């Protein structure tokens, strides 16, 4: 499936990002029922139906070119949004291989990869990149391998080393995050990294998730969905730039919530990496405004109910305190109280 | 863990490297490269025997850079229940086997400041692949390899050629022994030790390292247990509501699988903890043969690793 | 946003001798002398030979160096040394680790900032939680890393603090990085500029 790219949309300043009708229909709604609480909602990352966001290992959609441009803007201002500790080099090559092979296999009109032994030739047509390099030799690429390839991919990537029965957050490209900092969290254990998440520790979510991930197998990737909300279609809601986006939250009213408030869904994929035995954690962000979401009646009813009854600790953690009521009020006219069908499909 | 994920391979080379060890080269039936792996990984080899299926773990000993073949070394076990005998007696060039994707439960620590590798006999196999990962890495390492005699030293030429003076060999036949106390008492801070070999050697290395003040997290070892033979008994699977007979020469896990019930596993050697199962009822004693449960957990008697452990009883009820 | 109750916040426990170790390296600051001496007496009763392999590096608080260092020496510690300040001590600590052998146990007693800086160096030598023990004593003033300008503000005792780098008022969270030896500071009035919570003494 080849996408037509929205070449000129932006995720800052004038926020011209929009979803096509097709992009809305394939939006990965994270609520399979009318209420929400944490769970270890991990499932095998198997190919989904054609056209869905899980059809392929890495989803390339109409926002691809614009998201790569947005990433470059963030990195130009803050190079430390990409970091890798020195012992993570073999995992960097693992990631490059995984992403290049997946994209070339799944989107042959956009990407191609030719190999002669360790001499690789990579072509990325949407970004007009044509690169010959030697796999394993960092000097033959313009940047470190993880930096190089994740500038050509949508979503954030975190690489976790496995040792001492734990997973250590020790490399990553993080420019489209929901309020966490790679720079601060680099070097942390799995539970330290997730320290700021409320309730889930007490529910044992991270104990179970860690145990599961330590045994994650090669060739058997898994995925889960997570979500929050963001004002404007702003990808870079980093703590680093909180002074720039924090004031947005106070601008929401019941009148403008449909356009300002966006549901932000992360499609998180986890792969065991072969050379390094590390795990790469892909965090792909999808944004949809409440107005776009409300074009699907079932989703409008469901999101209205989820937000209305959300646990107070989650309202706080997800940063919704200032505008949750406005968003609920904006959605209320779409909810006639009729039941929703099970599952997340648009109906 | 899931047999749908196996890869069909053909045996393309067999070499008798010591009186007891055969070296096998495996290539993908479909052609092309086998999956990339890291040093210390093992594969489960699935062998279709005359009356049952054997699934044994073997360490990958080749270079993670050379993926046209996988190499494994198989020691003929004296009291084998079939797997190693099958590999030694029935497998010939051209034989077809199934293998699972590699799993690494014996990986190198990536922030170690030095690695000390200790191998006894067939225990050299995972360490051969670890050495490939260490070449050119800039972190100092040394290898101590103990064997019965020169005749039993598998892969010695390969090691001499590549490791030079990092290799230290010890022959039992000449009364040479690794001086574990001196070796482990003089390592710089941040060293990790890796040991693979007979149970006695592994236990001795662990005990000596601890006596020298090493914390557990710096001591790495791997030993796959072969499931020992035992008495026959009956197991009732409470959730599946079926009863299964476990014969003397078949493991609990194999018997459950043969009855069509899937149990998740990674190593089938009592190491990974993946097949950990709750015991609901028992009219006898559990015989724990795994390296995963603590002594305290074993004493509690309320769970079992069916890959290598069994029971001395009439009837065992499991939460499966 | 979670401010307190974050799992990355280090948890300290009273120091205890770990006689499974062969070598014992102790770092102390100010009132941290007391817990170290407690460990030394504990070891004396366990095995006197242990003390020969014990080394103490110590920074006194204020001028009264002599009493503590004399007490370490009187306790038959093989090697006790005082330093004029934390940087000099940490420099000696680093070169000691470079010469140390497996089997070493590290004991740190002092302020949380002192512990954090020592741990940061220990991390470079691949010492892990099994090899390090730390007891917090003295002030619990915090090192705070500004997530916006990346400057570190030392000795923060209040719930909010003005960043030494960018001057923003930072909310001090319990989220702690061992790599940076610091807590996270996030602009407190980003959502409503100028709306500052009352200044409170928190970390005394």
Residue of B nearest to C128 (CA): B217
| Among candidate residues C137, C129, C176, the one with its CA nearest the CA of residue C30 | C137
What's the pLDDT score for residue C48?
63
B286-320 pLDDT per residue, tens? 999 888 888 888 999 999 999 989 999 999 999 99
Is the domain covering B233-318 a CATH 3.10.20.30 domain?
yes
Q: Alpha-carbon torsion C3, C7, C10, C12, what sign? A: positive
Helices A297-308 and A324-331: crossing angle in degrees, nearest 10, is 140
What's the pLDDT score for residue A347?
79
Q: d(Cα B96, Cα B99) in Å, to the nearest integer?
A: 10
* Domain of A75, in residue numbers: 21-334
Q: Which two tokens stand for residue B272?
A: 């990974």
Q: In chain C, what residues touch B215 (CB-CB under 8 Å)? A: 128, 130-131
> Is residue A333 a contact partner of residue A255, using CB atoms and an 8 Å limit?
no
Q: d(Cα B23, Cα A166) in Å, to the nearest integer?
A: 34
pLDDT at B1 over 50: no
β-pairing verdict for B21-28 and B53-59: unpaired
- Interface contact B138, partner A, CB < 8 A: no
**What ipTM did this prediction achieve?**
0.92
What's the pLDDT score for residue B53?
85
CB-based contacts of B44, cutoff 8 Å, min separation 6:
B55, B56, B57, B99, B100, B267, B268
State the alpha helices, DSSP H only, in B91-198: 124-134, 156-163, 180-185
Phi-psi region of A78 (alpha: psi -120 to 50; beta: other; left: phi over 0): beta
Q: Is residue C201 classed as helix, strand or coil in its secondary structure?
A: strand
What's the pLDDT score for residue B2?
43
pLDDT at C45 over 90: no
A26-85 pLDDT per residue, tens? 999 999 999 998 776 788 899 999 999 999 999 999 999 999 999 999 999 999 999 999
Residue of A nearest to C188 (CA): A243
**What average pLDDT does the segment C6-26 reach?**
92
pLDDT at B80 over 80: no
Q: Which two tokens stand for residue A48?
A: 């989904």
CB-based contacts of C137, cutoff 8 Å, min separation 6:
C30, C31, C32, C34, C35, C109, C110, C111
**What average pLDDT does the segment B170-190 reach?**
95
If one counts every other C-beta atom within 10 angstroms of the C-beta of residue B36, the result is 18
**What average pLDDT does the segment C129-136 reach?**
94
State the alpha helices, DSSP H only, in A133-278: 145-150, 182-185, 190-193, 205-214, 242-245, 257-260
Domain ranges of chain B: 3-104, 114-222, 233-318
**What average pLDDT does the segment A309-334 reach?**
94
CB-based contacts of A336, cutoff 8 Å, min separation 6:
A301
Going by pLDDT thresholds of 50, 70 and 90, the confidence category of residue C66 is: low
**What average pLDDT does the segment B223-232 reach?**
80
Helices C86-99 and C112-124: crossing angle in degrees, nearest 10, is 30
Mean pLDDT for all residues in chain A: 94
What's the pLDDT score for residue B33?
92
What's the pLDDT score for residue B104?
94
Q: Which two tokens stand for residue B187?
A: 């390592």
Judged by CB atoms closer than 8 Å, whether chains meet at C130 and B216 is answered as yes
- Interface contact C169, partner B, CB < 8 A: no
Q: Is residue C5 classed as helix, strand or coil in its secondary structure?
A: coil
| Among candidate residues B16, B17, B73, the one with its CA nearest the CA of residue B45 | B73
CB-based contacts of C113, cutoff 8 Å, min separation 6:
C141, C142, C143, C154, C155, C181
CB-based contacts of C159, cutoff 8 Å, min separation 6:
C171, C172, C197, C199, C200, C202
Going by pLDDT thresholds of 50, 70 and 90, the confidence category of residue C4 is: confident
A26-40 pLDDT per residue, tens? 999 999 999 998 776
What's the pLDDT score for residue A101?
97
B3-104: CATH topology is Elongation Factor Tu (Ef-tu); domain 3 (2.40.30)
β-pairing verdict for A166-173 and A82-84: antiparallel
HSE, CB side, 13 Å, CA atoms: give it for residue A121. Answer: 3
Residue A8 in any domain: the answer is no
Q: Candidates 3.40.50.80, 3.40.920.10, 3.40.50.2300, 3.60.15.10; correct CATH number of B114-222?
A: 3.40.50.80
Q: d(Cα C160, Cα A243) in Å, to the nearest integer?
A: 16
Phi, psi of A309 (to 5 degrees): -105, 15
Q: Which of residues 144-173 of C touch A (CB under 8 A)?
A: 145, 147-148, 150, 168, 173
Judged by CB atoms closer than 8 Å, whether chains meet at C128 and B217 is answered as yes
Judged by CB atoms closer than 8 Å, whether chains meet at B213 and C102 is answered as yes
β-pairing verdict for B103-104 and B41-48: antiparallel
Judged by CB atoms closer than 8 Å, whether chains meet at B184 and C102 is answered as yes
Residue that wins the pLDDT comparison between B265 and B221: B221
What's the pLDDT score for residue A3?
63
Judged by CB atoms closer than 8 Å, whether chains meet at A274 and B36 is answered as yes
- Interface contact C102, partner B, CB < 8 A: yes
Q: d(Cα B132, Cα B287) in Å, to the nearest integer?
A: 38
Q: In chain B, what residues touch A87 (CB-CB under 8 Å)? A: 110-111
Give the nearest partner residue to A195 out of C1, C175, C190, using CB atoms: C175
Residue of C nearest to A196 (CA): C6
Residue A139 in any domain: the answer is yes
> Is residue C36 a contact partner of residue C60, using CB atoms and an 8 Å limit?
no
DSSP strand E in chain B: where? 7-16, 21-28, 41-48, 53-59, 70-75, 96-99, 103-104, 114-120, 141-147, 167-171, 191-196, 219-222, 233-237, 242-246, 277-282, 285-287, 303-304, 310-312, 315-318
- Give percent above pLDDT 90 in chain B: 72
Mutation pick from B189, B209, B218 vs chain C, by most beta carbons of C within 10 Å, is B189
Domain ranges of chain C: 23-136, 142-187
**What average pLDDT does the segment B94-118 reach?**
95
Distance of CA B227 to the CA centre of its chain: 12
**Any long-range contacts for A104-109 (C-beta under 8 Å, 24+ apart)?**
A106/A55, A106/A56, A106/A57, A106/A58, A106/A60, A107/A1, A107/A2, A107/A56, A107/A60, A109/A2
> Is residue C44 a contact partner of residue C18, using CB atoms and an 8 Å limit?
no
Give ∠ CA B239-B240-B241 in degrees, rounded to 5: 90
Give the nearest partner residue to B35 out of A162, A218, A276, using CB atoms: A218
Q: d(Cα A162, Cα C78) in Å, to the nearest integer?
A: 39
Judged by CB atoms closer than 8 Å, whether chains meet at A196 and C1 is answered as yes
> Is residue C36 a contact partner of residue C28, using CB atoms and an 8 Å limit?
yes
- Give percent above pLDDT 90 in chain C: 74
Q: Which 8-state DSSP code applies to residue A38?
A: -
Q: d(Cα C6, Cα A196) in Å, to the nearest integer?
A: 5
What's the pLDDT score for residue A290?
98
**What average pLDDT does the segment A273-283 reach?**
97
Helices C33-46 and C65-74: crossing angle in degrees, nearest 10, is 10
CB-based contacts of B260, cutoff 8 Å, min separation 6:
none
Q: Is residue A87 classed as helix, strand or coil in its secondary structure?
A: helix
Listed range (A10-24, A126-140, A311-325, B102-116) with the worst mean pLDDT:
A311-325
Q: Which two tokens stand for residue B195?
A: 């040991």
Going by pLDDT thresholds of 50, 70 and 90, the confidence category of residue A22 is: very high
Residue A344 in any domain: the answer is no
Judged by CB atoms closer than 8 Å, whether chains meet at C150 and A80 is answered as yes
| Among candidate residues C108, C172, C115, C112, the one with its CA nearest the CA of residue C139 | C112
From the candidates A18, A25, A69, A224, which is the catalytic residue?
Answer: A224
What's the pLDDT score for residue B151?
86
> Is residue B212 a contact partner of residue C103, using CB atoms and an 8 Å limit?
yes
What's the pLDDT score for residue A1?
46
Listed range (A295-304, B78-87, B119-128, C138-147) with the worst mean pLDDT:
B78-87
Mean pLDDT for all residues in chain C: 91
Q: In chain A, what residues touch B5 (CB-CB under 8 Å)? A: 217, 219-220
Q: Which two tokens stand for residue A258?
A: 């449909």
Residue that wins the pLDDT comparison between C49 and B243: B243
Q: How many domains does chain A have?
A: 1
Respond yes or no: is residue A249 known to be catalytic: no
Phi, psi of A228 (to 5 degrees): -155, -165
Going by pLDDT thresholds of 50, 70 and 90, the confidence category of residue C64 is: low
Q: In chain C, what residues touch A194 (CB-CB under 8 Å)? A: 7
C158-186 pLDDT per residue, tens? 999 999 999 999 999 999 999 999 999 99
Tell me the helix, strand and coil percentages in chain C, rounded to 5.
30, 30, 40
Q: Domain C23-136 class?
A: alpha beta
**What average pLDDT does the segment C5-34 reach?**
92
């Amino acid at each position: 499936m080849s996408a037509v790219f929205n070449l000129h949309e932006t995720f800052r300043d004038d926020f011209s990002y929009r979803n096509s009708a097709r992009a809305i229909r394939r939006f990965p709604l994270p609520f399979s029922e009318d209420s929400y609480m944490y769970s270890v909602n991990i499932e095998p990352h198997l190919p989904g139906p054609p056209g869905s966001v899980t059809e392929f290992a890495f989803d390339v959609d109409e926002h691809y070119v614009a998201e790569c441009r947005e990433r470059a803007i963030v990195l130009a201002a803050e190079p430390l949004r990409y970091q890798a500790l020195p012992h993570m080099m073999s995992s960097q090559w693992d990631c490059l291989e995984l992403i290049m092979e997946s994209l070339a296999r799944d989107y042959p009109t956009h990407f191609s990869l030719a190999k002669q032994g360790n001499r690789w030739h990579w072509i990325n047509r949407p970004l007009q990149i044509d690169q010959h390099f030697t796999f394993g030799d960092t000097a033959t690429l313009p940047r470190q391998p993880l930096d190089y390839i994740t500038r050509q991919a949508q979503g954030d990537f975190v690489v976790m080393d496995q040792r001492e029965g734990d997973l250590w957050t020790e490399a990553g490209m993080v420019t489209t995050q929901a309020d966490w900092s790679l720079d601060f969290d680099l070097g942390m254990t799995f539970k330290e990294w997730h320290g700021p998440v409320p309730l889930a520790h007490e529910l044992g979510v991270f104990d179970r998730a860690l145990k599961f991930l330590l045994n994650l197998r090669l060739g058997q990737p898994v995925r889960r969905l997570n979500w929050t909300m963001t004002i404007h279609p702003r990808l870079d809601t980093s703590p680093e730039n909180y002074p720039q986006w924090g004031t947005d939250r106070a601008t929401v009213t019941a009148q403008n919530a449909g356009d300002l408030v966006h549901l932000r869904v992360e499609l998180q994929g986890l792969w065991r990496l072969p050379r390094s035995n590390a795990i790469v954690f892909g965090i792909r962000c999808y944004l949809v405004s409440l107005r776009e979401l409300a074009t699907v009646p079932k989703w409008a009813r469901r999101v209205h109910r989820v937000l209305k009854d959300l646990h107070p600790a989650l309202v706080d953690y997800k940063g919704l305190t200032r505008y949750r009521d406005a968003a609920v009020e904006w959605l209320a006219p779409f909810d006639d109280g009729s039941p929703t069908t099970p599952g997340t499909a648009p109906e | 863990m899931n047999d749908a994920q196996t890869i069909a391979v053909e045996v393309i080379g067999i070499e008798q490297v010591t009186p007891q060890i055969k070296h096998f080269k495996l290539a993908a039936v479909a052609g092309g490269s086998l999956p990339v792996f890291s040093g210390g990984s093992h594969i489960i080899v699935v062998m279709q025997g005359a009356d049952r299926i054997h699934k044994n773990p073997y360490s990958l000993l080749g270079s993670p850079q050379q993926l046209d073949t996988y190499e494994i070394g198989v020691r003929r076990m004296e009291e084998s229940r079939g797997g190693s005998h099958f590999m030694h007696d029935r497998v010939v060039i051209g034989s077809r086997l199934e293998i699972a994707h590699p799993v690494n439960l014996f990986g190198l620590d990536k922030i170690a400041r030095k690695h000390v590798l200790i191998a006894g006999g067939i225990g050299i196999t995972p360490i051969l692949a670890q050495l490939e990962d260490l070449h050119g890495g800039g972190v100092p390492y040394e290898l101590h390899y103990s064997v019965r005699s020169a005749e039993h030293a598998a892969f010695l030429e390969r090691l001499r050629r590549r490791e030079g003076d990092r290799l230290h060999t010890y022959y039992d036949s000449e009364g040479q022994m690794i001086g574990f106390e001196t070796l482990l008492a003089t390592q710089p801070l941040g060293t990790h030790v890796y040991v693979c070999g007979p149970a006695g050697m592994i236990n001795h290395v662990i005990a000596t390292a601890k006596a020298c003040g090493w914390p557990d997290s710096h001591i790495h070892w791997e030993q796959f247990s072969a499931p020992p033979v035992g008495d026959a008994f009956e197991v009732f699977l409470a959730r599946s509501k079926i009863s299964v007979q476990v014969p003397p020469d078949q493991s609990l896990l194999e018997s459950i699988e043969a009855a069509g019930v899937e149990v998740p596993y990674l190593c089938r050697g009592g190491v990974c903890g993946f097949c950990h199962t709750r015991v609901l009822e028992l009219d006898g004693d559990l015989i724990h043969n795994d390296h995963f449960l603590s002594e305290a957990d074993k004493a509690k008697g309320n769970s079992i690793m069916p890959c290598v452990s069994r029971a001395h009883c009439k009837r065992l009820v499991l939460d499966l | 946003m979670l401010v307190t109750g974050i799992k990355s916040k280090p948890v300290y426990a009273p120091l205890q001798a770990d006689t499974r170790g062969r070598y014992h390296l102790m770092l102390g600051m100010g009132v941290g002398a007391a817990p170290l001496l407690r460990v030394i007496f504990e070891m004396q009763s366990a095995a006197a030979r242990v003390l020969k392999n014990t080394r103490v590096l110590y920074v006194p608080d204020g001028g009264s160096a002599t009493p503590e260092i004399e007490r370490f020496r009187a306790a038959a510690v093989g090697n006790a040394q005082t330093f004029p300040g934390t940087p000099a001590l940490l420099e000696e600590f680093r070169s000691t680790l470079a010469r140390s052998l497996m089997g070493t146990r590290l004991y740190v007693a002092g302020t949380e900032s002192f512990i954090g800086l020592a741990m940061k160096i220990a991390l470079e030598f691949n010492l892990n939680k099994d090899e390090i023990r730390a007891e917090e004593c003295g002030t619990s003033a915090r090192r705070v890393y500004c997530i916006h300008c990346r400057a570190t503000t030392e000795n923060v005792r209040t719930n909010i603090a003005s960043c030494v780098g960018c001057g923003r008022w930072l909310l001090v969270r319990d989220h702690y990085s061992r790599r940076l030896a610091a807590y996270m500071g996030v602009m407190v009035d980003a959502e409503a500029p100028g709306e500052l919570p009352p200044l409170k003494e928190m970390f005394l």
